[in-house]
Amino acid sequence: MKRRVFTIILFLAGLVAAAQTLPAWQKGYFDIHHIAIGKGECQFLIFPDGTTMMIDCGDMTGVGRGWAHSRALPDSTLSPTQWAARYVDAFSPTPGRIDYFALSHFHADHMGHPSASRPGPYGYRLCGITELGEYEKIGTFVDRGYPSYDFPSVERVESQCGMMKDYKLFIARQVNVCGAKAERFEVGSRKQFGTKEGKWDFEVWNVASGLMLTAGGRKTRPMYKETENPDKFDENMFSHVLLFRYGDFKYFSGGDLCGSRGSAFGRDYESQVAPLVAPCNVLKANHHGYRDATNPNFLWQMAPDVIVVDAVEASHPRLETAARIADPMYPGKRQLYATSEAGRAKMGEDAWPVVKGVGHIVIRVYEGGGSYQVFVLDATSGDYPLMHQSEIFMSRR
């Protein structure tokens, strides 16, 4: 049976090479799309039964400094959100509808920035997630603050992102007018997200968000020291940590979780989380591969074969982070992919070849979760031609 499955996979891989495009999702596949929109972070996932989920939809168009060096993908004729919606509809089994939207944390590169916004017809400005609602019907919204958005205070939350007032009005309309549900992220839950069909050995585990599970997995504790003032915070420290498991395959998504000095007041959250989830086959690099994340302890424990950097700024990824990922002392194959070349100039041409592929990065986990493959689709083209496909990785290690 194993030989037959492996033969089928090789046959499918051959079809991809011949057609030079990504074959349509089919029941039993778990697809993870890291959408390259250039100006914000966005992932789109298709569960084995066809349930769909989006994590984040940011837009930093018009913002200066390092963000100004990032290029809108494929171009600026449409907004990043419009491109994201087009991408979703091109690959989704249910175009025009997304079952779950999870906002990892309240930062503009994950939800939208006022400089990129435009007036909308419902009393809130449109950008990022508030614009996405114009193109996609969303079933359930999940974030860390619903419904009060008052931790550590309304003022502190709103100071982290200029779109918060618009976002709250948007969520209220989605619930009261459009029939969507809205929920607070429930740390420890394995049921808040999931397939509608129970036959799949698939689950989504809510590991942390300011709170995290204890080693036994039944209680929670604050990720920061209880003696610290909770007002002294960086929104990154509340990033959702999600573990997706399909059979033997594990995928880690931790938003902008940090693991060293440089932000979040020097707190190391990666080392706290790693023992609960490690090892993982694939991980989205925390905090866009910036210098304060993917620390040595985290990388050693996670031992990933594939790391994806959602690159939307000139420091994504940082040279020291990419060098750490490439260091052979750490376990796993650590193949590095990025959604854009935003960080290429700062990394330098000598270091850049460590990045194996750039574009829309798709992880396709084959039926049962025993094997998976990486595909890179051209993000500069509107018809998503295939640029690269990896070897087939076996999930069991």
Confirm whether 3 is domain-assigned.
no
Per-residue pLDDT, 229: 64
Confirm whether 19 is domain-assigned.
no
Whose CA is closest to 207, among 248, 164, 253?
A: 253
Per-residue pLDDT, 7: 47
Phi/psi for 193 (5° steps) reads -125, 145
Answer with the residue of higher pLDDT: 139 or 10: 139
Per-residue pLDDT, 8: 47
- List pLDDT tens digits, range 78-113: 999 999 999 999 999 999 999 999 999 999 999 999
Per-residue pLDDT, 397: 63
Answer with the residue of higher pLDDT: 332 or 264: 332
Is the backbone peptide bond immediately before 74 cis, with ω within 30 degrees of 0? Answer: yes
Per-residue pLDDT, 226: 56
The 3-class secondary structure across the chain, one letter per residue, is CHHHHHHHHHHHHHHHHHHCCCCCCCCCCEEEEECCCCCCCCEEEECCCCCEEEECCCCCCCCCHHHHHCCCCCCCCCCHHHHHHHHHHHHCCCCCEEEEEECCCCCHHHHCCHHHCECCCCCCCECCHHHHCCCCEEEEEEECCCCCCCCCCHHHHHHHCCCHHHHHHHHHHHHHCCCCEEEECCCCCCCCCCCCCCCCCEEEEEEEECEEECCCCCCEEECCCCCCCCCCCCHHHHCCEEEEEECCEEEEECCCCCCCCCCHHHCCCHHHHHHHHCCCCEEECHHHHCCCCCCHHHHHHHCCCEEEECCCCCCCCCHHHHHHHHCCCCCCCCEEEECCCCCHHHHCCCCHHHEEEECEEEEEECHHHCEEEEEEECCCCCCCCEEEECCCEECCC
Per-residue pLDDT, 216: 72
At residue 265 the predicted structure's pLDDT band, cuts being 50, 70 and 90, is low
- Work out the number of other CB atoms within 10 angstroms of the CB of residue 135: 15
Is the whole model's pTM more than 0.95, yes or no?
Answer: no
* 40-49, 122-131, 142-151, 211-220: segment of lowest average pLDDT: 211-220
At residue 231 the predicted structure's pLDDT band, cuts being 50, 70 and 90, is low
What's the CA gap between 30 and 365, in Å, rounded? 5
Confirm whether 2 is domain-assigned.
no
Confirm whether 163 is domain-assigned.
yes
CA dihedral 299, 187, 88, 294 (to 10 degrees): -10
Whose CA is closest to 162, among 284, 63, 248, 282?
A: 63
What's the CA gap between 110 and 235, in Å, rounded? 12
What's the CA gap between 119 and 293, in Å, rounded? 36
Confirm whether 211 is domain-assigned.
yes
Domains: count for the chain: 1
At residue 266 the predicted structure's pLDDT band, cuts being 50, 70 and 90, is low
What's the CA gap between 57 and 173, in Å, rounded? 18
Whose CA is closest to 260, among 271, 275, 249?
A: 271
Confirm whether 22 is domain-assigned.
no
- List pLDDT tens digits, range 329-386: 999 999 999 999 999 999 999 999 999 999 999 999 999 999 999 999 999 988 999 9
Return left, alpha or beta for 177; rule: phi > 0 is left, psi -120 to 50 is alpha, else beta. alpha
Residue 5 has pLDDT above 70, yes or no: no
Confirm whether 7 is domain-assigned.
no
What's the CA gap between 351 and 307, in Å, rounded? 16
Mean pLDDT of 294-304: 95
CATH number of the domain that residue 317 is part of = 3.60.15.10
- List pLDDT tens digits, range 18-72: 458 899 999 999 999 999 999 999 999 999 999 999 999 999 998 987 777 788 9
Q: Based on C-alpha coordinates, what's the Rg of the chain?
A: 20
Q: Which residue(s) pair with 206 in the sheet?
A: 242
State the residue range of the domain holding 85.
Answer: 27-392
Answer with the residue of higher pLDDT: 330 or 216: 330
What's the CA gap between 115 and 244, in Å, rounded? 34
Confirm whether 6 is domain-assigned.
no
Per-residue pLDDT, 17: 45
From the number of C-beta atoms within 10 Å of its C-beta (0-12, 13-18, 19+), residue 124 rates as buried
At residue 227 the predicted structure's pLDDT band, cuts being 50, 70 and 90, is low
